[in-house]
Amino acid sequence: MSDQPVPVIDAMHFRRTLGQYPTGVVVITAVTDGEVVGMTVGSFASVSIDPPLVAFFATSTSGSWRAIRESGTAFCVNVLSADQEDVCRQVASRKSDKFEGIPLRITERGHAVLEEALAYIECETEAIHPGGDHDIVVGRVLNLDMQGTTNPLLFFRGGYGAFIPLSLASADAGLASQMRFVDVARGAMERLAGDLDAEVSAVCTAGEDLVIAATAGPLVRPEMITRVGQRWPFAPPTGALFAVHRDEAERRRWLTRAAEKFGAGAATELLERVEAEGAVYAVGPVDSQAPLFDVLSLDVPLDLVHEHAAAYNPSVDEVTGEIDLRFVSAPIVVGGEMVFELSAWGRRQPLTKAQARQIIDRVKACAAEISTIIIDAGLVPNAAAAV
C-alpha cells in the first residue's frame, strides 16, 4: 500500500467521466411469495465462462435490491432491447406494480423472464461482496437463452437507444434537422451544467410534442435514469418560448390547446411575460410538491400539464420568502428563428430571489452564447425545424 493519502474524487466528476463508457441495460427479476420484484441495472457484466458467472452492481441502500436479496438466492437477468425504454423507465421508477402490463413468464426453475427481452440468464447467487456504496452480486448461470435479434438498449452519457455523434439524442427522425444545432451546442451545455451543478437539457419540437433531445450534467432526480426522449405536450404553459418565437399560426395553435384551469387569458399573459423576460421559468415555495416536474413517464400527460399549470408560472417577484427554482429555459434564436430551447432544471434547494435571478441570467447568457456558436459554425435554420 502506498503511504500517499487517498485522493478525494468529486462524485459528479466521477459520474460524468465514467459516463463516457456505454453500457447495456438489464432488468434483474426475482420471485417472492408469488410476486415478481425487480430493478433496472446499467452495470451488468460477464465474469467467467468456466464456471459460468455473471455479476451486477446494486446500490446497497436500494429498496428494490433489498426485495430481490430477501427473496432468496435465485434471480434472472433480462437483457432489454432498444425498443424497451418504456419497460426500463417503468421498472426503475415505480415502487410497486413495477411489472404491470409487461408480458412475462415463470420458468421451470421459478425465474421471471420478460417475454420481449433480447435474452435472459437464470442465476443462483454465488457471492455478494461489499463495494463502497454498492454490493457486487456474482451469480452462477443455471440456464440462458436468446429471444430476439434486434439491437440492445444502450445507456451512454445519460441517454438511451440510438445516438447521434456528439449528442445524446432520442431516435425520433423528426428531430434530425434540429439536432444539427444541438450538436454544436454540447460544449456550452456542459459548461452551463458545471457552472450551475445542474441538469441541462436541449428541447426540440416534434409534431404535437416537445422532446428532450439531449442532456448534460447531473440528473436532478437520479431515479429517472435520463430525461432524453421524454415528451411534453405543446400546450400552455409548456412550449411558451416556441409560441413566442415561432410564427403567428403557431402561437394561435398553442393558445387553442389551453385548458379551463389555465385558459387563453392566462396563456396570453404568460406569453407577454415570457416575451418581456426573454426566458420562461417555474418557481414555487421550497416545501411545496412538484408533481409536474417529478413525472417519470416517457410521455408527460396533457391532463397533468393542465392540472398544475397555474402553480408553476408565477414571477420570481410574486413568491414570498425563499423559493425553489424548478426550471428555467431560454430560446436559441438564429437568424430570427428559434431552433431549440435550452433548459436548466432546479436542484430542489432554497434560493433567494437574487440567487434565482442570477441563475436565470446565466441561462439566458448561455443561450446567447450558443446562438453565436451556431452562427459561427455557418448553420442556417430552415423550415424543417419548425413544429
Distance between start and end Cα atoms, the chain:
60
pLDDT at 167 over 80: no
Contact yes or no for 327/240 (Cβ under 8 A): no
Q: Tens digit of pLDDT for each residue in 271-288? A: 888 888 899 888 766 666
Q: What is the distance between the alpha carbons of residues 138 and 77, in angstroms, rounded to a whole number?
A: 12
pLDDT at 382 over 80: no
Phi first, then psi, for residue 198 (nearest 5°) are -140, 165
Count other Cβ atoms within 10 Å, centred on residue 293.
19
* 310: nearest Cα among 265, 349, 272, 353: 265
Q: What is the distance between the alpha carbons of residues 91 and 200, in angstroms, rounded to a whole number?
A: 24
Q: What integer pLDDT is reported at residue 24 of this predicted model?
A: 82
Q: What integer pLDDT is reported at residue 169 of this predicted model?
A: 40
Q: What integer pLDDT is reported at residue 296 of this predicted model?
A: 66
Query: What DSSP state is assigned to residue 318?
Result: G
Average pLDDT over every residue of 250-266: 79
Architecture of domain 163-380: 2-Layer Sandwich (3.30)
Q: In the structure, what pLDDT confidence band is assigned to residue 352 with cuts at 50, 70 and 90? A: confident
Q: E strand or H helix at 187, and its extent?
A: helix 176-196
The third-level CATH classification (topology) of the domain covering 21-155 is Pnp Oxidase; Chain A (2.30.110)
Q: Tens digit of pLDDT for each residue in 175-233? A: 667 878 888 898 899 889 889 988 899 999 887 889 988 888 877 665 566 678 888 88
Q: E strand or H helix at 119, and its extent?
A: strand 119-131
pLDDT cut 90: percent of the chain above it? 34
pLDDT at 72 over 80: yes
* 136: nearest Cα among 67, 42, 66, 60: 60
pLDDT at 291 over 50: yes
Q: What integer pLDDT is reported at residue 163 of this predicted model?
A: 40
Q: What is the distance between the alpha carbons of residues 58 and 48, in angstroms, rounded to a whole number?
A: 19
User: Would you call the peptide bond into 5 cis, given omega within 30 degrees of 0 as the criterion?
Assistant: no
Q: What is the distance between the alpha carbons of residues 257 and 237, in angstroms, rounded to a whole number?
A: 10
Domains in the chain: boundaries: 21-155, 163-380
Q: In the structure, what pLDDT confidence band is assigned to residue 151 with cuts at 50, 70 and 90? A: confident
Average pLDDT over every residue of 351-361: 90
pTM summary value: 0.58
Q: Tens digit of pLDDT for each residue in 91-103? A: 988 888 899 999 9
Q: What is the distance between the alpha carbons of residues 179 and 212, in angstroms, rounded to a whole number?
A: 11
**Between 17 and 72, residue with greater pLDDT:** 72
Q: What is the distance between the alpha carbons of residues 301 and 292, in angstroms, rounded to a whole number?
A: 9
Chain-centre distance of CA 21, in angstroms?
18
Mean pLDDT (the chain, rounded): 82
pLDDT at 373 over 90: yes
Q: What integer pLDDT is reported at residue 216 of this predicted model?
A: 84
